[in-house]
Amino acid sequence: MDPYGSGPPAFNLQQATPQLPSNAGPLPGALTPGGSRQVPSSSGYSHSHSRSLNQTPAQTQMSSNPKAYNISHTQTPANPGPSHSPLNLTDIRSRAVSDANEGGAGTGTLFSYSESPTNSNYLAPFPTYAYDWCKWPVMGGGSAGKMAIGSYLEDPHNFIQILDTQIVPQDMTTPGQAPYGLEYTKVAEATCAYPVTRILWEPPSSQKTSTDLLATSGDHLRLWSLPQPITPHSSNINRSAIANSRDPAPQKLQPLALLSNSKTPEHTAPLTSLDWNTLSPKLIITSSIDTTCTIWDIPTLTAKTQLIAHDKEVFDVRFCAGSVDVFVSCGADGSVRMFDLRSLEHSTIIYEPSEKSDKSASPSGSSPTKAQAQTLTPSPPLLRLAASPHDAHLLATFASDSNIIRILDVRQPGTALLELRGHQGSLNTIEWNPSRRGMLASGADDSLVLVWDLLNANNQAVIPPLNGSSAAAVPGEVAGKGPLASWRCEYEVGNVSWSPQSGLTSQGGDWLGVSAGRGVWGVKL
């Protein structure tokens, strides 16, 4: 099937205007003292093994999908059924995608808001999953940067949209409310055969002032180019008075390249994630369910290196800060591993969780023997990984169906440095703040976005109750660091992305983009 054969789909876009209901409670994010840090007891260990390189193994059998569900229900069922995802990637996406697939656009009841009107929302004509807010600084003008979003439709006809943001003044009706908000304009779109598992803009560099290049992972690694706008945007910052019909028609996002790690592209193993090297943007690394990671050279459109990284599917991969050679990965075997392209014969197991349930257990004190491992419950898959852009030794990860974020120090393999506890639902996404050291954001099935400050032990916020009652602590859990601030969405959070430096952030405070349900939110912290 040619994903580019058909023209741009005809979307009936609606501009969503956030409303503040009368029963809205106080805004979350109040800073109050929280729990103390406690480091789980676990001994570190290093693992060395030899792998055959530059060889793609046969596709492994799919692991069980702990986050699978029956798409016939509009709500997440208590007993999930099998997934019908074309890529079998229910492990790494939010349950909210199922709900959004069943909901009807334009009913007027798809979104209801219970937060400040400054939390600007864009309503997409499809359930959103992949999401990235372009990190290039926006100098001057009324824009806060471009966003890229991808659909998650369980059929071979998916969409990518590029949104431009406009900074608009807000009526100061609420104490502490931000004086500015966001409005969105769709400037480009494309179709693709399968859902996008990750979408990333080219990282900022000193060689130019902006970018028009994106990369997506899914059935293949694809490179896209954003065409130049036909007409400049209006200089009028107050776009709310302009009818949607007057916006210029979105252009076609141009496909530049399709990169496959197989000689038969129609039978290639799906890619679960990608990462762009910030030090050398010509390098992209991808992870696949066939247990491999592949480093691509963008100027030549060739695979530089491919290696078997894990014993099972690889769910995520990241370059370490300040390096073009060192990267980390995590996957279905429940481990985080570190590799150095200069010495691929060996890898280091940075972390391997306990064989017990990740929601109530801390890492075991020692690694079980092979005989013991055969009788123990397998470690839960590690779904996502985030490498700190400021500290090359710091990582964050979480396991399938877990509400605990673990901070890892690669200098202390085998043990978690810190546990971040605050979510009541299964985690879906984590991302470090590129402009503030030691700060990261997370999103989960509890519809919460939490912000964590690892450098300030005093700033820990109380989690806003879901139904007006405080959530009780799970007996036996090890106390960990609490969040700095929180924001509650109406739907399970699929992905988060920090905003670039712009006129929006120059007013003070950080902004965070949130993908959930059929929407994208801009949230001021």
Q: What is the per-residue pLDDT for 42?
A: 31
Q: What is the per-residue pLDDT for 504?
A: 87
Cα angle value 464/466/468 (rounded, 5°):
80
- In order, the DSSP letters of 247-316 are SPPPEEPEEEEEE-SSSSGGGPPPEEEEEE-SSSTTEEEEEETTSEEEEEETTTTEEEEEEE--SS-EEE
Rounded CA separation 396/409 (Å): 9
pLDDT-based confidence at 315, cuts 50/70/90? Answer: very high
Instruction: Read off φ and ψ for residue 371, nearest 5 degrees.
Output: -65, -40
Rounded CA separation 64/74 (Å): 22
User: 70 or 418, which is more confident?
Assistant: 418
Residue 74 has pLDDT above 60, yes or no: no
Helix (H) or strand (E) holding 469: none
Mean pLDDT of the region 198-221: 94
| Structure letter (DSSP) for residue 53 | B
Joined together, the tokens standing for residue 465 give 């109750």
Helix (H) or strand (E) holding 434: none
Residue 268 has pLDDT above 60, yes or no: yes
User: 67 or 358, which is more confident?
Assistant: 358
Rounded CA separation 162/226 (Å): 8
Q: What is the per-residue pLDDT for 349?
A: 93
Weakest mean pLDDT among 30-39, 253-262, 347-356, 487-496: 30-39
Residue among 152, 217, 214 nearest 188 (CA): 214
Residue 309 has pLDDT above 70, yes or no: yes
Bridge partners for 432 per DSSP:
440
User: Tens of pLDDT along 363-400?
Assistant: 333 444 444 444 457 789 999 999 999 999 999 999 99
Q: Which of helix, strand or coil describes residue 244?
A: helix
Share of the chain above pLDDT 90, in %: 49
Q: What is the per-residue pLDDT for 346?
A: 82
Q: What is the per-residue pLDDT for 195?
A: 93
Q: Please, are residues 403 and 423 in contact by the beta-carbon 8 Å criterion?
A: yes
Q: What share of the chain is helix, strand, coil (3-state, %, to 5)?
A: 5, 35, 60
Q: What is the per-residue pLDDT for 521?
A: 94
Residue 347 has pLDDT above 50, yes or no: yes
Rounded CA separation 297/316 (Å): 19
Query: Measured over all CA atoms, what is the biggest interatomic distance in the chain, rounded to whole angstroms?
Result: 70
Mean pLDDT of the region 463-482: 46
Q: What is the per-residue pLDDT for 296?
A: 97
User: 54 or 275, which is more confident?
Assistant: 275
Joined together, the tokens standing for residue 286 give 């991808």
User: 469 or 216, which is more confident?
Assistant: 216
Q: What is the per-residue pLDDT for 467?
A: 42
Mean pLDDT of the region 139-164: 92
Distance set, CA 516 to CA 151, 369, 520 (Å): 11, 42, 6
Joined together, the tokens standing for residue 499 give 């905003």
Joined together, the tokens standing for residue 400 give 């399938």
Nearby residues of 226 by Cβ (< 8 Å), 6 or more positions away: 146, 162, 187, 188, 212, 213, 214, 253, 254
Residue linked to tokens 């890898």: 347
Nearby residues of 155 by Cβ (< 8 Å), 6 or more positions away: 86
pLDDT-based confidence at 90, cuts 50/70/90? Answer: low
Residue 302 has pLDDT above 70, yes or no: yes
Q: 351: number of CA atoms within 13 Å, CB side?
A: 34
Residue 478 has pLDDT above 50, yes or no: no
Task: Name the average pLDDT for the chain.
Answer: 73
Rounded CA separation 42/418 (Å): 12
Weakest mean pLDDT among 236-240, 453-457, 479-483: 236-240
Residue among 272, 277, 276 nearest 292 (CA): 272
Residue among 320, 325, 329, 364 nearest 349 (CA): 329
Rounded CA separation 132/200 (Å): 6
Mean pLDDT of the region 337-341: 95
Q: What is the per-residue pLDDT for 77?
A: 32
Amino acid at 114: S
Question: Whole-model pTM?
Answer: 0.74
Cα angle value 483/419/29 (rounded, 5°):
5
Q: What is the per-residue pLDDT for 244?
A: 44
Mean pLDDT of the region 328-333: 96
User: Tens of pLDDT along 160-193?
Assistant: 999 999 999 887 666 667 788 899 999 999 999 8
β-strands 251-252, 180-192: how paired? parallel
- In order, the DSSP letters of 440-486 are EEEEETTSEEEEEETT-SS-EEPPPPSSSSPPPPPTTPPP-BPPSEE
Weakest mean pLDDT among 58-67, 238-247, 271-280, 307-316: 58-67
Q: What is the per-residue pLDDT for 469?
A: 38
User: 17 or 346, which is more confident?
Assistant: 346
Q: What is the per-residue pLDDT for 141?
A: 81
Q: Please, are residues 236 and 183 in contact by the beta-carbon 8 Å criterion?
A: no
Q: How many CB atoms lie within 10 A of CB 61?
A: 8
Rounded CA separation 517/401 (Å): 19
Residue 362 has pLDDT above 70, yes or no: no
Mean pLDDT of the region 211-216: 96
Q: Please, are residues 248 and 230 in contact by the beta-carbon 8 Å criterion?
A: yes
Joined together, the tokens standing for residue 23 give 């029963």
Q: What is the per-residue pLDDT for 462?
A: 46
User: Tens of pLDDT along 111-127?
Assistant: 343 333 345 789 999 99
Rounded CA separation 134/132 (Å): 6
Residue 66 has pLDDT above 50, yes or no: no
Q: What is the per-residue pLDDT for 351?
A: 93
Amino acid at 342: R
Weakest mean pLDDT among 119-128, 286-295, 334-343: 119-128
pLDDT-based confidence at 319, cuts 50/70/90? Answer: very high
Mean pLDDT of the region 419-437: 95
